[in-house]
Amino acid sequence: MGRILAALALATICIAAPAGAQSPAANPGLAKATFAGGCFWCMEPPYDKLDGVVSTTSGFIGGHKPNPTYREVTTGTTGHTEAVEVVYDPRKVSYEKLLEVYWVNVDPTDAFGQFCDRGPQYRPGIFVHDAAQRRAAEASKAALAKKKPFAAPVVVEIADATTFYRAEEGHQDYYVKNPIRYKFYRTGCGRDARLEQLWGKAPG
């Protein structure tokens, strides 16, 4: 996951099973949302905390190569970006709330990567699954651009969701399985320092 953790994570990640195809469809009554915010390890925790979120899955979206592996995506040549697919219950949590959580967990001023991870495979994006999600995402982005607490423009892409490929099992719930390595990566990448600079200190 970028230069910071490459040496530590290589043994764990590279022996994981190959990436799978698109995750199973949500059960009736549930919905999907897909967000890219750099390292997908770091995008799972804020959604896992939300009441109404059923699952989060790390994977890849927006590329042209079928069934890409993590190693292939990290070259920046497949067109994919790391993303997290969120399955949620709209009766308990709204898509608008998911968008609120998204913004404060990314650097929306950086279109060429996130934090220490650079390249198109780390570009931020909101991948919408229907017209209602697109309207909500565009409205949310416009509201942020109007009221943002920073000077730089908001450059996050809003695009139609294409096939989402589940990443290798070693990447799923990485922050739970490997808490020390995850903390080392997150701190070394400067993620929290930059988020605090952009959004202020997180509560709690």
**Model pLDDT, residue 1:** 53
Residue 12 has pLDDT above 80, yes or no: no
- Write the burial class of residue 131 (CB in 10 Å: 0-12 exposed, 13-18 middle, 19+ buried): exposed
For the whole prediction, is pTM greater than 0.75?
yes
* pLDDT per residue as tens digits for the range 82-108: 999 999 999 999 999 999 999 999 999
Residue 74 has pLDDT above 60, yes or no: yes
Closest CA to 100 of 39, 152, 33: 33
Domain 2-199's class?
alpha beta
Q: 21, 166 in Cβ contact below 8 A?
A: yes
Catalytic residue among 39, 42, 116, 189: 39
- Domain extent listing, the chain: 2-199
Give the Cα separation of 125 and 123 in Å (integer).
7
Active site residue 14: no
